[in-house]
Chain A
Amino acid sequence: MTSFWALTRAQWFGFWRDKQNWFWLLAFPLMFLVLFGFLFRDAGASKSSLTQIGSVAIIDQLPAEAKAQFDNLFEVTKTDDAAAALEEVRKGDVDGAVEQKGNEVILHYSQADQVKAATVRGTLGAFVDGANVAMSGQPPTFTLKAEAAEDDSLKPIQFIAPGLLGWAVAMGATFNAAMPFVTWRTNKLLRRLRLAPMRTESLVSSRLLVSIAVAMIQMGVFLAVGVGLFDLKLTGSWWMAIPLLLCATIAFMAIGLIAGAISKTAEAASGIANVIILPMAFLSGSFIPLDQAPSWLQTIAKFLPLGQLNEGLLDSLVRGEGPGAALMPMVYLLGFAVVFGLIAARLFRWED
């Protein structure tokens, strides 16, 4: 055990004192978190903008309850200048302009943005229909009540933070395993250690402990910044992220060990690790949510360790799932770690 702690201590200081490590594994992913956090801050509550030309009775005379609902959906500016309002619509500054001539409500929209136009048409149409029904004096036979499946608090940050945390931890564990072993093979430290009466397992497990500590620090800082700065709301069994990240660290360490074993220089190891982690981060939804991605991409993500990690993190941190939701990803990650760990053990070399 003394060997294990001696190696852990030495490696921890070596890691801790290198400011580059902290930049790449903490500051760099945090930059993305802050960037995305600000970019998508209000994306969830986006309203359609509407210019009202003159008086539009159907809007102006809405009952209080319906008016409140209307204001939730539309950002209305009033004007009397019809020509200017239409020009704004053409330029895309507003999503639509509405005027009323007698019983005819006219909506001007731009064909340049079909999606927005459809949204405005549909929503406004619903209000016109509602007004017609109300005018008939008959109670409506059918009502539609739409509710979002997620908690009301599901803002973009809720998706952004877990994905970026998954990427940061995957990157940390991979580089943390790949780089030192290449460096130590080159500078003969591995040979020196081999000549000391320690077990090989002490060397690998002490590196793992350092990587786990780094992953926990990453998680702590990420969640603190998310909650403190961007109103991230942790739900249900968020603490299941801890064992989940632990399993992920082992899995990505195995990848890192392989990258380190097949590289001759630290630069090559870093390149290989990047080539593995960066595309995987995209395919696993670390940067872009996979909910709207094509189904083949979602299938690929299911087979990637980072995809599993992100899914588990989303379930535990923000989707309010119970502790069981993280179990399948954990089992997958451990299985991945066993297979790739065995490959890494086969490829491991003490010297070049």
Chain B
Amino acid sequence: MTNVIETRGLVKRYGDLTAVDHVDITVPQGTFFGLLGPNGAGKTTTLEMIEGIREPDEGDVRLFGEKVWPRNRAVLPRIGVQLQASAFFERLSVEEQLRCFADLYAVDHKQIDRMIEMVGLQEKRKTRTEDLSGGQKQRLSIACSLIHDPEVVFLDEPTAALDPQARRNLWDVLRAINDEGRTVVLTTHYMDEAEILCDQIAIIDRGQILTTDTPRNLITGLGSAYRILVSEGVLSDQEAAALPGVDSASLSDGTLAITTHTPSPVLAALAERDALQGLQVTGATLEDVFLTLTGREYRA
């Protein structure tokens, strides 16, 4: 697989602050790549340097093997960048915004209808952008960034400030984009979003990449225990503690909590005792990985 994005030793400083500190990122073609980090970690600055709209102080960015700074008009038609949901012309309808961007990229006007359908704005095509809801604007800005059928799509916190329905709605759109074979790069500080959407996740904090891997490997690599919750009364905590593979068992608020590193034999034993009613299993999440790596201290 060819690498679409390659950065080496990317550095950006703002005065005394090193916002991006020697970042190396490699993104193979077709990957859904997530850049995950707390606010102010350097996600956006990194993304902007890759897109070619911010000049790195040090290091090198290659998109399709080409330089992106200064403004490289050969690369631009091959990338799609979704910006803030306000980056529209004033007083233009959904259809007219898309038409303008279609013409800027000299693509067929058929794309306008395709895009409107893809982001589900058929009902709003004659509506001016000022009158759209936040989620609709977000979807339109994604449509504007995809109109020219780019090979790589960059999305900077696309679901920030969206309600839960709109978020899930947008996830479907993003997954569809990736399923078409496009490389997608996403920044987010939502763990669930990164876990559900991404093939590869780079966790970034204080301008440095802490680790890069698949969500699954990151979570299992943590080696943390599973918690199995069963209703009280099926078996006592002493009985539960004696089951094979159980690390500990405790009773609280009418629920028996079992901790284990090997859930399979424990679940089998519970099934034998017909104790699966109302059973819950929780494993480590990306959030645990994240907090383990970045620490738990509060940051403003």
Contacts and interface: CB of A to CB of B under 8 A. Distances in A.
Interface in B17-68: 51-53
Contacts of B88: 187, 189
Contacts of B102: 6
Contact of B105 (A187, A194, A197, A350): A197
A195 B81 contact: yes
A188 interface: yes
A148 interface: no
Nearest to A190: B87
Nearest to A200: B71
B104 A197 contact: yes
Contact of A3 (B52, B87, B103): B103
Contacts of A7: 100, 104
B73 A6 contact: no
A191 B90 CA distance: 15
A13 B76 contact: no
B194 to A, nearest CB: 24
Contact of B100 (A10, A17, A195): A10
Provide the main secondary structure of the chain A interface. Answer: helix
B51 A195 contact: yes
A304 interface: no
A11 B105 CA distance: 17
Given A10-B96, A197-B73, A192 B81 contact: yes
Nearest to A195: B81
Contact of B84 (A187, A193, A194, A196): A187
Contacts of B144: 192
Interface in B75-121: 76-77, 79, 81, 83-84, 86-92, 96-97, 99-106
Chain A CB within 10 Å, residue with most, of B76, B87, B91: B87
Contacts of A193: 104
Contacts of B87: 187-189, 191-192
B83 A14 contact: no
B79 A13 contact: no
Interface string A1-32: 01101110111011001100000000000000
A133 interface: no
Nearest to A16: B91
Contacts of B52: 195
Interface residues of A, number: 27
A3 B73 CA distance: 13
Given A3-B103, A196-B105, A198-B104, A188 B83 contact: yes
A2 B84 contact: no
Contacts of A351: 53
Given A187-B88, A188-B86, A194-B71, A6 B79 contact: no
Contact of B76 (A2, A17, A197): A197
A182 to B, nearest CB: 12
Contacts of B79: 195
A351 B54 CA distance: 10
B91 A6 contact: no
Nearest to A202: B104
Given A197-B73, A197-B104, A10 B89 contact: yes
A183 interface: yes
Nearest to A5: B103
Contact of A14 (B84, B86, B89, B99): B89
Given A13-B91, A17-B91, A195-B53, A6 B104 contact: yes
Contact of B77 (A2, A9, A11, A197): A197
A149 B52 CA distance: 65
A207 to B, nearest CB: 12
Interface string B135-172: 00000000010000000000000000000000000000
Nearest to A3: B104
Contacts of B71: 194
Contacts of A2: 103-104, 106
Nearest to A189: B87
Contacts of B100: 6-7, 9-10
A144 B103 CA distance: 72
A287 to B, nearest CB: 31
A110 to B, nearest CB: 60
Contacts of A183: 90
A85 to B, nearest CB: 66
A189 B51 CA distance: 15
Contact of B91 (A18, A188, A195): A18
17 contacts: A2-B103, A5-B103, A6-B99, A6-B100, A7-B104, A9-B100, A9-B103, A10-B89, A10-B96, A13-B89, A187-B88, A188-B86, A191-B53, A195-B51, A196-B101, A196-B104, A197-B77
Interface of B: 51-53, 71, 73, 76-77, 79, 81, 83-84, 86-92, 96-97, 99-106, 144
Interface of A: 2-3, 5-7, 9-11, 13-14, 17-18, 180, 183, 187-189, 191-198, 350-351
